[in-house]
Structure 1
Amino acid sequence: MPACCPGIACSQLAVRPGNPHIAYEGRVAVRADSAVFYWPGSSATISFTGTGATVTMRSLREPGYFYAIVDGDAARAFKFAADSSRRLITVAEGLSDGRHTVQLYKLSNNTSANIFYGINITGRARLHPPGRRPKRGIEFYGNSITAGHGVDVPSGKGDSGAPEFFNQHYTYAALTARHFGARASFIARSGIGVLVSWFPEIMPEVYDRLDPFDSTSKWDFAGFRPDVVVINLLQNDYWLINNPNHPQFKARFGNTKPDAAAIIRAYRSFVASVRGKYPAAHIICALGNMNATEAGSSFPGYIREAVAQLSDKRIHTLFFPYKKTPGHPVKEEQQAMADELIRFISKTVGW
């Protein structure tokens, strides 16, 4: 397919992933001929004149699910899967003459790596520079709640963690970022903890990676300096430290459950590591809305104590009330969390 220079009309326009007119958000590995999406909520946006668009993609490890959002209209977003075969996917068609945008937004967990090989614009195509980057920035570190586990499970169908039912776009984290018009990065994986996870990796071991499954793949923190960081972790620790027969409990702790001091120490150390990356950011140490914040839980107290020990006026705590329903939070419960976080940021940070 022929390629044209930006700003010059063509009958068709092939845009390679390394083109500077593509605006990436989140931790994406961008090269001239490919871009790899690892983390949920990462995205690529292109502004163009044309009547349609196709993308070429494939996924490693498991299928990856995306929204194609045309002209910012998320209510009419097209949800599609990228699987192990490299294939062409139509993401927009029948567009009117004029300027349009297409955003590719990763919905699913970081257990898929999704390779983007480029986008083709049809019609009298012209590529436009990206708009101005938002001044505000926010970054989230989280687990299944932040990753969007089960958000798209149909009502009455249980609590499936299948890739097709993840929808990070409608998590409290993504809703909050969009409310403030902020650039956002989401470092989240379903099942991850601070001391122990349902799998070998824990957040302190992967939080600084570009590729979460490659210990040598380090993220350049200088590339994105958020004003606000939200940490919503320890839900999986809450479950697993009371499960001495789980293989990861045995791998991390042997036969001895970690005591309160060990939990506080591990959490404090992780928050201090994040502070080291972002010396000026407000850090919100959150928890919930699953049963780690139920009545009688010690975990909010552990977080309060860890934050008190850090003695940093820009580190705050926020606890989302236990939702008192089974499974992971659905859209309405994610929205309730977002509403609370938005109020907290408005009051505490002044946005």
Structure 2
Amino acid sequence: MSMKRIFKPSLIALFFFSVWCSNSSAQLIVKPGDPHLSYIGRIAKSLDSVAFFWPGSTLKMNFTGDAVDVTMRSTREAGYFYAIIDNDAASAFKFKVDSNRAEINVAHGLAAGSHSLEIYKLSNNTSKNILYGLRIGGKAKLLSPTALPIRKIEFYGNSITAGHGVDVPPGQKESGTAEFYNNYYTYAALTARHFGAQYSFIARGGIGVMVSWFPEIMPEIFDRLDPFDSKSKWDFNKYTPDVVVINLFQNDSWLVKLPEHEQFKARFGKKAPTDEFIVDAYQKFVNSIRNKYPKAFIICALGSMDATAPGSKWPGYIEKAVKNINDPKISSLIFPYKNTGGHPNKKEQRSMADQLISFIDQHVKW
């Protein structure tokens, strides 16, 4: 018997063993700039990395495979995300991204066939979250991306819009830590999903129109890609919303009463702003938005925290500014005071969404 015949069975066995090993450990490395991936929100994209800044920033991907890992890290502070498989938000996996570059398993044990993945930023814009790549396990393949919705909506807001406190467990004292932010269940995100619209949330906890709890105010950062970099400008030609919702003044309403606060002194000196100054400041910001989006329907909202409590002047300031602007496609919407402690919880955010959805149905022709 020849040597060839002696070794042939062994070579065949080795071949099939190699194929089995290859299939059992198959994987696909995906770069963030791959054209099969789609993004929603203001993000900085290159072939090798993508930076998420604002709450609600989203990656979407269609694929086959049995597991997905993402490699990410955060700067400034930790960020929190949802990983949503096959649009099943009820089973979303919430994960943390900190300063250590790490690979995080966001899905495993997936059945054969096609799947979708959504990576959704839950937390404030005070974290910069960098995605370096994804790894898909099993019989991995990228599929064509789902077309993004034609409708577009954009929100400018504070902690209410960003999602401060939405994930605070019942009975636990609210805090402003990133862990308890959840933009996904804010009135803004709920409204966008109701209309099947793309979304952009330009929101930060503590921000105001005239004064904030920190140096920056919304008129100074609304046109930025990276909110902490004055040279990082957003290209407004990349995203033109049909509807813009502004929900600001909650923080201003507190800070104008605190003459000893450093930001009061920095913005106003020793004297609180007059009613005329407040109305004018709001008008100027709304006009800045109108200049960027000449055709958008703009909703000037307020609430549902104590800036809309009975006797508050702040709804009147907004209504006066809207009247002064005298634009048929600019209206005001005042959310009723929720009259409970802390920031709006999921139920209260849902109530705000219902009111906003109804308002849009009545006033906007998509």
TM-score, structure 2 as length reference: 0.93
Note if 1:93 corresponds to 2:108.
yes
Note if 1:111 corresponds to 2:119.
no
- Cα offset, 1:239, TM superposition: 0.5
Specify the alignment match of 2:22 in structure 1.
Answer: none
Note if 1:345 corresponds to 2:363.
no
Question: Across the two proteins, how many residue pairs are aligned to each other?
Answer: 342
What amino acid is aligned across from residue 320 of structure 2 in structure 1? E
What amino acid is aligned across from residue 190 of structure 1 in structure 2? G
Specify the alignment match of 2:3 in structure 1.
Answer: none
TM-score, structure 1 as length reference: 0.97
Alignment partner for residue 191 of structure 1, among 198, 201, 206? Answer: 206
Which runs of 5 or more residues in structure 2 are unaligned? 1-24
Note if 1:169 corresponds to 2:184.
yes
Higher helix share: 2
Alignment partner for residue 68 of structure 2, among 32, 53, 59? Answer: 53
What amino acid is aligned across from residue 343 of structure 1 in structure 2? S
- Cα offset, 1:133, TM superposition: 1.4
In the TM superposition, 1:260-339 aligns within 5 A as: 260-339=275-354
Give per-residue Cα distances to partners, 1:72-121, cap 9 Å, x unaligned.
11000000000000000001100011110111100000000000001111
SS at match of 2:284: helix
Specify the alignment match of 2:235 in structure 1.
Answer: 220
- Following the alignment from structure 1 to structure 2, what is the Cα–Cα distance between the partners of residues 288 and 257? 22
Specify the alignment match of 2:97 in structure 1.
Answer: 82
Note if 1:124 corresponds to 2:168.
no
Alpha-carbon RMSD across the aligned residues, in angstroms, is: 0.8
SS at match of 1:308: helix
- Cα offset, 1:309, TM superposition: 1.1
- Runs of at least 4 residues of structure 1 off by over 2 A? none
- Following the alignment from structure 2 to structure 1, what is the Cα–Cα distance between the partners of residues 219 and 140? 45
What amino acid is aligned across from residue 315 of structure 2 in structure 1? P
Give per-residue Cα distances to partners, 1:195-240, cap 9 Å, x unaligned.
0000000000000000000000000110011100000000000010
What amino acid is aligned across from residue 302 of structure 1 in structure 2? Y
Specify the alignment match of 2:253 in structure 1.
Answer: 238
- Following the alignment from structure 1 to structure 2, what is the Cα–Cα distance between the partners of residues 147 and 248? 21
- Cα offset, 1:135, TM superposition: 1.0
SS at match of 1:124: coil
- Following the alignment from structure 1 to structure 2, what is the Cα–Cα distance between the partners of residues 115 and 133? 22
Give per-residue Cα distances to partners, 1:20-52, cap 9 Å, x unaligned.
111100001001110000000001011101111
SS at match of 2:80: strand
Specify the alignment match of 2:59 in structure 1.
Answer: 44
- Cα offset, 1:11, TM superposition: 2.4
- Following the alignment from structure 2 to structure 1, what is the Cα–Cα distance between the partners of residues 336 and 365? 23
Give per-residue Cα distances to partners, 1:141-193, cap 9 Å, x unaligned.
00000000010011111221111000000000000000110000000000000
SS at match of 1:295: coil
Which runs of 5 or more residues in structure 1 are unaligned? 1-9
What amino acid is aligned across from residue 316 of structure 1 in structure 2? S
- Following the alignment from structure 1 to structure 2, what is the Cα–Cα distance between the partners of residues 127 and 305? 52
- Following the alignment from structure 2 to structure 1, what is the Cα–Cα distance between the partners of residues 300 and 174? 26
Give per-residue Cα distances to partners, 1:115-140, cap 9 Å, x unaligned.
00011111111101211111100000
Specify the alignment match of 1:19 in structure 2.
Answer: 34
In the TM superposition, 1:128-139 aligns within 5 A as: 128-139=143-154
